[in-house]
Structure formats: C-alpha cells, structure tokens
Structure 1
Amino acid sequence: MSPKLKNGIALALLPQILLVKWLAGHPDWVEKYYSEGIYPLISRFLRMLFGWIPFSFGDLLYTALAIMAIRYLYLHWKSILKKPLLFLRNVFTVFSIVYFAFHLLWGLNYYRIPIEEKLGITTDYTPAALEAISDKLVQRANSLHMQITKDSTQSVSVPYSTGEIYNKTYLGYQQIKKEHPLLEYKTRSLKSSIYSIPLTYMGYGGYLNPFTNEAQVNAKVPLFRLPSISGHEVGHQIGYSAEDATNFIGFLVTSRNEDSYFQYASCTHALAYCLSELSVTDPETFDELYGSLNKGVRKNYQELVSFWQAYQNPFEPIFKSAFNAFLKVNNQEKGIESYNAVVGLLIGYDRKYGF
C-alpha cells in the first residue's frame, strides 16, 4: 500500500466518525436503509460464506490477526522507535479500515429504531408491576421444573448436546417468525467458540463476530443456560445490537420453543433479571419470592453461581470495564447495565401481549 493511500485511509477516520454520529440522530433512516435494507443481505451472505464451517472461522481470524500484529511489532520495533509518527499513521490506517468494516457489516444496528418501538410497547414500570411479573415467573419456573423433574428438590439436567441446543434454537426462530416476522432468521451460523475458556474467565456467555456474522456461544456455561444464550446471540445476528433487546429476544424465542427444557431456561433467565432488580428495590419481597422457588430451581441458580465463581480472576473487571466503555461509545448509554433493562421490555411485552 502506497504512503499516499495510507494517509488517505487514515484521514478518512474522522469523516467516518462524524457520519456515524450524524446517523445516530436519524434512526428511521438507519432502520429503513440499513437494518431492513442492506444489512439482511450482508449478514445472510456472511452466514452462507462461513456458517457451513463446523468451527469458528472468526475465532481463527482473530488469532491470525493477533499473531500478525505481534510478529510485526517484533520485526519492526527498531523502525517504530525511530519513526513513531509513521507507525502511528499505520495504526490509524488499520483502525480506519476496521471502523468502516465494523459499521458496514453490523455496527450501524446500534443506531436503529429500538425494538420496543417496533413492537409498540412501553418499558416503564412500577414496583407493583415488577413484583407481579416476578411472581408470575416464579410460578411458571416451579411448574416447568416439576413438569421436567417430577421432584421439587431435584435440579434440572438438560439431556441435549450443544449441537442439539443450537438446532433447537434455530427451530425456535422458525416458530417465532410466525408471531413476529421481524425476528425471522435465515441461514444458520451458530457455533461454540474455540475460546470458550477465555470467554469464561472474561465473564461472557458468548458474542457475535461482526466480521463473519458467526454467533459464538461459550460452550462451558451450564447447559440449562445455553438455550437463552444461543437465542441472545442469534438476536444479534438478525440485526439487534442493544443488549437489552437481544436479552429480550433470547427470552421470547426460547419461551416459545416447544421444548420444555428451553421454556425452563427462558423462564429462569428472565426471572434472574427480575429478582436481581427486586433484590435492590425490595429485598423483603425478593427473599419471599426466591424462597418460594422449588429447591431444585434454586439448585440450578446455585450451579450458575458456583460456575462463575470458579473462574473469577483479577482481570475480569478490566474486561467488563472495557466492554462497558465499548457499549457506551456505541449508543448504549447505560453500558453493561443495559443487560438489566430487559426487565422493562419483559413487563411492557407482557402488558400488551402476555406471555
């Protein structure tokens, strides 16, 4: 690449940033021309290109790029020290290319019309509404638990492999599109991440690779939680970037699945967010509702707590802080707390449609 071309690409970064900020003020345009326009074509093409590969191509791509970057620094560290401005120019050139690719291939979805507007629901709620939906989910969790185990003290053990869970997730999306066409999912690309162990240490259940459109799932997570995570990551694939939206989509598609294990996963995941809110706003009601859960349901929750505690490390807060900053830069003002905003979506949806 010639020096002039590198200079031009590096300088193009600022106009790109300004354009994205301008588009952030026009979500109706982003929705019409990108999220419902070119993005479905781009994303489906990428899934056709990489979805058939039985392993995560995106993980390998990241690995190759990291090795290339380390190799470059090792081979050229002397010239970097001698000409730091040229190195800085090269860094901005690469960043400009990545910034463009990220927003073209997926990132502009951060600026689309929020899912609550598309569904015609409101997300405000009262303490009474939070208590009511929490109680509703407790009753459903207990009912599904007994339907599966026939024993209130036994935890639910999912009998499926990760591959079977991914297949059932895809089938769930084929079912939900009849009720909500905006959740249509074509050309599957749902995989276990090669880096499930590092993801666990970082505290993540999965992620979407925006450059290959592969939905990556942390296969180390206890199986009874994987249906919700899989549904969440596919929600990103179909064009919803906001974490509260994909948490809600994951709940909705998993709850509508005909499989009782999926319904249980969906219910307990949604309930966890509601109980988390109650534990802060009304600890007494939280204690009462949590105590009314079947012992086996509480065992499943403890299984998750024990799992994540086993991988706690001093670096996890750093990764969470970085992701928090990433979300705020990309139009999610609450950052990592936006995950919990799913509570408002759950209440708003139940208020209008029921579940």
Structure 2
Amino acid sequence: MIKRPKLKFTIISFVLIAILMNLIFKRIPEFVEKNYSLGFDKTIRQALSISTGYIPFSFGEFLVIFLFLLLVILVLIVFIKIKNGGALNAILNLVTYLSALYIIFMVFWGFNYNRLSFDKISNLKIEKSSKQDLYLLCEDLIKRANMLREQVNENSQGVMIIPGGYKDVLKRTKIGYDIAEKKYKELGGKYGPPKPILLSRALNYTGITGIYIPFTGEANVNVAVTDLLLPATAAHEAAHQRGFAREDEANYIAYLTCTMHSDYDFKYSGTMLALIYSMNALYDKDNSAYKELVKTYSEGVKKDLQYDSEFWSKYEGKVQDFSDKVNNSYLKSNGQEDGVQSYGRMVDLLLAEYKEKNKLAK
C-alpha cells in the first residue's frame, strides 16, 4: 500500500469531492448527459471496452476477484493490528483502498446515474396508468410472445433453445444496438462484445445474471442459465456498457434493442422480459386479471416459463437472499427506488411506449 500519509489523506479527500459532485450532478441531468455520459465518460468507456475486447475472456472477472481478495487481506490486517498494535495505519490503508475504488468507479461510470432518464431521451411520456392500461399492455405482449414463439427453435422437451449457444448470442447482441442507434444516437458507439462469466454456474446461487465492470468496460453475462432470457440479459449488460446505469432503464433498453433485432430469438427474449415484468405488476394489482391472461399463453410460452422457473428454484437459498439484500442496498444508495412511478419504471416505459403506438395507429 501507499506509505505516504499525505497522499492517503489526499485520496480520501477526493471522496468528499466526488460525493459533492454527485449531489450537484443530480440537479443538472442535461449537463451530465451532454458532457459526461455522451462526452468524457463515453470516451473512457469505449476506450476500455475496445481495449479489453481483444481479450477472449473477461479480464474484469479476474480483476474483481483480485480486488476482493485484496480487500479481505486488508480487513484481516486491521484485525491483526488491533491485537498487536499499529491498527491506525492499517485502517488508513483500508479506507484509502476503498476510497480509490469509489473514485475510479464514479469517474469511469458512476455519475451516469444522474444522466437524463430514458423517457426524456426517447420522448416517451410517463404518466399515471390504470389497471386497464396495464391489462391491455399485458394482453398485447402475450399476443406478440405467442406469435414469436412459433419462430424460435425448441428441444425435444418443447422448450425454447438457441442452437448456436451463448457464443452466438453474445456475438449477435450488437445487431439490435446498431438498428436502435438509427433512432436513438445515445445507444450507439464502438464497444467490445459481451463476455461470458467463467464462474457462471457458481453465480447462479446469487441469482445474478450479469455484471458490468466499469474498471474494464466489459459487459459480463452469466451463460449458465436458460436460453429464454439470455439474449435480453446480454442486451441489458450492453446497455450498462453504453452508460445507462439504472437497472430498470437497462431492462427497457434490453427489451427495445431485442425487439428491434433482426433475429426472432432476440425478439422473443426481449418480449418475454417485458411480459414477465408486466405480468408481475398485474399480479400485484389484480390477481384475477392476471390468472385470466395466463390462460392465453401458448403452450410453448408456458413450457419456457415453467422450465425457467424450475431452473432457478434449484438455486434458491440463503446465498441468493443475501445477494438480493446487498444488491437492493446498492441500488438504493444510487437513488434507484423501484416503483417511484405507478408500476416501476420498466413497466411505466412499456406503458408509455404502448400508449404512444396506439396514438399513432389511430
């Protein structure tokens, strides 16, 4: 660790500056959008992503493991020093290390939480919606999912599969963004492809399906999951790679780029992501309406959802509960209160899009 105390205190003091900047940036999203998200930070993200893109595996995965182990070592040293003396310097080393990580995180990506919300970027009007609006959205998504399901491959058990596997999915994720960029320039840019996580199977126990690592600009995907939402997950992490930090907005962008995609498996995966979120919202608001619409699922859609549910049930437990709590705390610390709108921002964006399309159709 750094031996000079002055430098340590300087690094720690920069945390206060970063926190102050974050508070200011919350009030000026237009400035953040133009100068940080589409300016300074985009340059950093693209440079990192292109550089690490030449590496066939996730460099960030190994970096995170190394940084975590270093954190564990520093914490152990603190406890040892408490017993043997010299604890103050050990604590200072730990705080300096955490401060450096926080500053790099904020500079490389963290201020994106303050950029313009995607409804402003896409000119979608989020407003209070009725249960009837939600019902009609779900009905529309079911019709689309049922039709798209007929166009995808399935195995001998009648469950949706992607013949090319995860490698093919990660390679094709860019197509949806290339198409979406024509309408939303904010989704454009040059980035490396999403990468598979080597410890994917172990990650299943946490319930985590993907991780964006700002330190390396890599979109990392848990590939040891069912094929149903694999394309949507890859698109979700690619949204983070393009500077969209909010989880709910990354979900909507995943849906958007998947449904704009030229391939049916992506279209189906994105539609199913939207359907799952929308039907969960309807279940909370009107259980009888939810049950009524479930009956209209095609057999293929039913089998895919059942298989996905059975798959994840094998990994439920204390590890996933703890992971959820940690993730929720992280989201709240960055100002993400799901449900600030009527049904949560993901569903509200879907509702806004649905209403807009209906207006244009009339």
Provide the TM-score with structure 2 as the length reference. 0.91
Question: 2:228 aligned to 224, 229, 239, which one?
Answer: 224
CA contact (8 A) 1:35 1:109 kept: yes
Question: 2:333 aligned to 329, 333, 344, which one?
Answer: 329
State how far apart, in whole Å, the 1-side matches of 2:330 and 2:65 are: 21
**What is the correspondence of 1:147-226 to structure 2 with a 5 Å cutoff?**
147-148=151-152, 154-226=158-230
Residues 336/114 of structure 1: CA separation in 2 closer, same or farther (3 Å cut): closer
State how far apart, in whole Å, the 1-side matches of 2:92 and 2:44 are: 30
**2:307 counterpart residue number:** 303
**2:240 counterpart residue number:** 236
**2:69 counterpart residue number:** 67
Aligned-residue offset at 1:149: 6.0
| Letter of the 1:66 counterpart | F
State how far apart, in whole Å, the 2-side matches of 1:150 and 1:133 are: 27
**1:113 counterpart residue number:** 116
Question: 2:290 aligned to 286, 292, 298, which one?
Answer: 286
Aligned-residue offset at 1:244: 1.1
| Letter of the 1:20 counterpart | N
| Letter of the 1:62 counterpart | V
Q: Could you list the runs of 5+ residues in structure 1 that have no partner in the other structure? A: none
Residues 247-290 of structure 1: CA deviation (Å, up to 9, x unaligned): 00000100111111111111111111111011111111111111
**2:11 counterpart residue number:** 9
**1:343 counterpart residue number:** 347
Residues 293-351 of structure 1: CA deviation (Å, up to 9, x unaligned): 11221110011111111011212111111111111111212399999531110111222
**1:259 counterpart residue number:** 263
Residues 180/168 of structure 1: CA separation in 2 closer, same or farther (3 Å cut): same
> Does structure 1 residue 79 correspond to structure 2 residue 81?
yes
**1:122 counterpart residue number:** 125
State how far apart, in whole Å, the 1-side matches of 2:263 and 2:334 are: 35
**1:269 counterpart residue number:** 273
Residues 229/42 of structure 1: CA separation in 2 closer, same or farther (3 Å cut): same
Q: Could you list the runs of 5+ residues in structure 2 that have no partner in the other structure? A: none
Percent identity, aligned pairs only?
30
Question: 1:249 aligned to 246, 253, 272, which one?
Answer: 253
**2:105 counterpart residue number:** 102
- Report which stretch shifted further, 119-128 or 140-149: 140-149
CA contact (8 A) 1:135 1:289 kept: yes
Secondary structure (helix, strand or coil) at the match of 1:207 reads: strand
Aligned-residue offset at 1:245: 0.8
Aligned-residue offset at 1:12: 3.0
**1:92 counterpart residue number:** 95
Secondary structure (helix, strand or coil) at the match of 1:312 reads: coil
Provide the TM-score with structure 1 as the length reference. 0.93
CA contact (8 A) 1:58 1:211 kept: yes
| Letter of the 2:9 counterpart | N
Residues 85/196 of structure 1: CA separation in 2 closer, same or farther (3 Å cut): same
**2:20 counterpart residue number:** 18
State how far apart, in whole Å, the 2-side matches of 1:72 and 1:262 are: 44
CA contact (8 A) 1:327 1:336 kept: no
Residues 327/74 of structure 1: CA separation in 2 closer, same or farther (3 Å cut): closer
